[in-house]
Each structure stands twice: as C-alpha cells, then as structure tokens.
A and B are shown apart, each in its own frame.
Chain A
Amino acid sequence: MDEARAFDAFVRAHATDLLRAATLTSGSRERGEELLQDTLTNLYPQWDKVVAADVPIAYVRRALMNRLISAGRSSGSRHVTLWDLPERWDGNDMSEAIATRRVIWQLLGALPDRQRVALVLRYFNDLADAQIAKVLGCREATVRSIISRALAALRRDLAVASITGKAASE
C-alpha cells in the first residue's frame, strides 16, 4: 500500500512534466495521454524499481521514451507526418513566428522517433549528451550524430517549406 501511495504522489507531482514530454514526442495531447498512461500502467507493478532509482522522474521519462520508440518500431507505420496543432495556433494569428513554429512542429513529426526524442531531450529538457545517451541507450557520440542528422533534416525541410510557402503566397 505504501507503494500505491508513493505512486499516487509521484503521478500527482510529475504528471504535467511527463505529459509534456509525452506530447512533445508523440505529436499531440491525445497521443501523449495514451503514451503516458501506457507507460505508467506498465511501470506500476514494479514501482519499487522506480522508487529505488537515483532520479525516479528520469527513470519514468526514459521508460516513456523507450515505449514510444519501441512502439514506433513495431507498429510498422513509421512516423506521424502531420501532427495536431496546439490550440493556440489554430486561430487567426498567422504571424511569421507562429507560422514558423507550425512548420517546425510538423517537421518534427516527420523525423524518426529517436531523432525527435533526442531533440526534445536537448531543447526542451535541456539534458546533456551523456544524459540523453542514457535515455536512448547509446553512446554520447551516437547522440551527437543523431542530433546532427535531425538538425540537418530540419534545416533542409525548413528551407523547402520556406521556398514553397513563398511560392504559394506569390
């Protein structure tokens, strides 16, 4: 019962942080909720391991990312190429900054899961390469390679989007 209480307390304390991580890596609030639920349900029977971890939130975040990546591998359907837009971006505010974020958000969805997870961990969670390597279960050099390829793909796709966007508006 103590573990049940510990679980409750943990979820209440970190639900928003975890939901954000799940949403950013899965592409929508709804998929993020599903991913988080799936992760918590699978961790609950072995919550003692989470509690015993050096940093429990990092343990859960790692489990969450791994479930996302392994689900992507096994599903056969690779990437979500069109992500749900955040509510605030659905309105009429089409300033350049918002337009750029919309494009970047969509392009993130087109990246392979591991690349996207690495970017989220670096640019949202501010993790160092060594910490990202632990989450992804790889070496630091591999992390740098993954992020480098992801950024290259984003730059390329962003440039294409910029050109096609201008062409469409002319």
Chain B
Amino acid sequence: MIDRDLDEQISETLNEVADQTHADPQLVNRLIVNARSGRTRVATLRWRSTWVVPSLAVAAVVAIVIITILLTTSSAAHHSVPPASPSPAVTQTAPTSAAPSPARSATPTAARTAPASTTATSHPASTTTAETPSAVIQGGQQWTSPVLTITDHSLGAVSIGMSMTQAAHAAGFTSFTAIGDGVSIPTPWGPARSAAGYPELYVSRWAGPSGSTQAFTCVGAFIGTSTTKQVITTPEGVRLGDPASRILAVYGSRARNVPALPSGMDPVPSTSSPTTATTSSSNSDTQGQQIVAIVGGLTPVNCVG
C-alpha cells in the first residue's frame, strides 16, 4: 500500500475528493443570502428554505421594528382620500447570533377578517403619502412587473383572500408551486430567478387561528442575491434593499421595535391589527443595515417567522 510514492497518493486522494465537490447554484445562493443576513450556519438551509429566509433570518435577530397604521372606517371618513394603506411592520435584525430554530411562532395574534379579493387593486396612487414614488401603486401589477407594491394584504395584484388559482392568474402565471413550510412560488420560478438578480416573491399560509380559512395568509418578498431587476416597495415608498434607516425616516413614530426572542419565536405585537404589513430587515454589518424582506399578511409577524 505504501509502495507508491506517498506524495502522489495524497495528491490523488485530495484531487479525487475535490472532483466530487461542486458548489451548485442553490448552495451559492444560500451562502450569499446567509452571509448578508449574518447567518453563520448553512446546513439547515436547504433550497426551499431560502424562500423563507425572512422567517429564518428574522428569527435570529435582535430586534424587530413593527410599524402599524390602523385602517378604520372612521379614518376614511376623516380624509378626503382613501386612507393610506396598511401598517407596514419592519423587522430589523442583527447578525450577532446564529439563527435558532426557524419554528413559526404559535403565539396568537389579533384576528382579522381577510380583505375581499377585490381589494387587491384598491390602493390607488392617491392613497399614498407624499413620499410615495410616483412609479408605484399601480393596480393590477403582475409579479413580472419591474415595480411591485406590497401592502398589508397584497403583493401587486395578488391579494389575501384569493384562491391559489386566482392568485396565480393575478400574478400572471397559471399556478403556484408549494415549496414547503406553507410557502408557494409561481410556477416555474426557482433559484435561477434569484441568481439572475430578482427578489424572491411568494405567498405563504400561516395556519394560525386567524388564517385558517384562507388559501394563503401572507405575501412577501425578500432579497435573493440582488434587487437590481425589480423594485418592491410599500405604498409609502420603503423599498426592499433600502437602508434600514429609511424605515424610521418614512414611518417615524409609527415604527415599533419588537425584539425577537432567543428561541427564534417572534413576539407578536399586541396591537397587531387587520392593517399591518411587515417589513423586515437584517443587517450584515454594523455600517449598512439593509431591508432584506417585506411581508404583509393577516398576522404579519407570523409571516416573517
């Protein structure tokens, strides 16, 4: 066994192992997303889970900022224009600890009545604040649109309350594909889309007490590898990929900070309202905190983990 030159045998052994080792695009995506969100573990994140990185990353984080805006009928009566949509909730994360269990919170949240499907396009530009980019808040946005608006209950033309078929058609596709953890993405989207520089878009079903009758209870978008190809924005103009400071700049005192629990179970804000959207952000370094996810849903905190 040692007749042959040992140097040669070591070299052959190492090269043969190396030949069997390739970083596929899915792993590369995971490496990038995890590094950006400060996550030091990769093994538990298989491809499908990268679609719920908002959940996983946020579970690991130090702080959650929730911004709540209540939509009430009375408020509508007091305004000459329809009320500004939703109560975006913003999650700000820190990379100081490895993400714990991605288990979803079982904490109950305030129940709400799902909006009728007809509300998917019910937020015209006039409902937005002065900070709203002019390019956004167009009704009927398909998910291939270069600019997509996310509210507390909709992502583009896809609105909570729709069936999966309706949602797929609204998004501009024929169907959704379930990829696990209650998350569904348009068929045939996959990792290649993220690799091409698009954010990840999905609907998900949180089967909690308030969402049990809905086909899906959350809509969301998060940064895949880049956001250069598509803009995801709240009605107020907070965009995926913006610096986290943008949250406070836009929402001001409406932002609320909710620390994530060490267990990875997110606390649920007691004021979680029917009109809450959630934005989550994680920082990968101390200088540049970045918004990496925006979600909306019946119980938005559950939508991010």
Known contacts: A45-B285, A124-B14. The answer to whether A16 contacts B1 by CB under 8 A is no
Would A86 and B16 be within 8 Å (CB), given that A7-B35, A11-B28, A46-B285 are in contact?
A: yes
B12 touches A37 (CB 8 A): no
Bound-complex Cα distance A29 to B43 (A): 10
Cross-chain contact of A158 among B2, B17, B21 (Cβ < 8 A): B2
Q: Considering the complex, which residues of chain B in the window 1-46 have a beta carbon less than 8 Å from any beta carbon of chain A?
A: 1-2, 4, 6-7, 9-18, 20-23, 27-28, 30-32, 34-36, 38-43
A37 touches B6 (CB 8 A): no
Question: Chain A residues with Cβ under 8 A from B41's Cβ?
Answer: 34, 37-38
Q: Do B10 and A123 touch (CB < 8 A)?
A: yes
Selected from B9, B28, B30, B34, the residue in CB contact (under 8 A) with A101 is B9
Task: Report how many residues on chain A are interfacial, defined by Cβ distance under 8 Å.
Answer: 53
**B42 and A20: CB pair below 8 A?**
no
* With known contacts A11-B31, A15-B28, A15-B31, A101–B1 Cβ distance under 8 A: no
A19–B9 touching, CB < 8 Å: no
Q: How many B residues touch the partner, as a band?
A: 35 or more
Taking a contact as CB atoms closer than 8 A, the residue among A29, A32, A44, A97 that contacts B284 in the complex is: A44
Among the 9-residue stretches A51-59, A103-111, A135-143, the one with 4 or more Cβ atoms under 8 Å from chain B is A103-111
| Closest B residue, CB atoms, query A99 | B1
Within the complex, what minimum Cβ distance (angstroms) separates B140 from chain A? 30
Q: Give chain A nearest CB distance to B183 CB in angstroms.
A: 22
- Once the chains bind, are A44 and B10 in contact (CB under 8 Å)? no
Instruction: Please determine whether A37 and B35 come into contact, CB atoms closer than 8 angstroms.
Output: yes
Known: A105-B13, A158-B1. A41 touches B225 (CB 8 A): no
A170 within 8 Å of B (CB atoms): no
Instruction: Contact check, A24 vs B17: say whether CB atoms are below 8 A apart.
Output: yes
Q: Which A residues form the contact surface with B (CB < 8 A)? A: 1, 4-5, 7-8, 11-12, 15-16, 18-20, 23-24, 29-30, 32-34, 36-38, 40-46, 86-88, 96-97, 99-101, 103-105, 108, 119-120, 123-124, 151, 154-155, 158-159, 161-162, 165
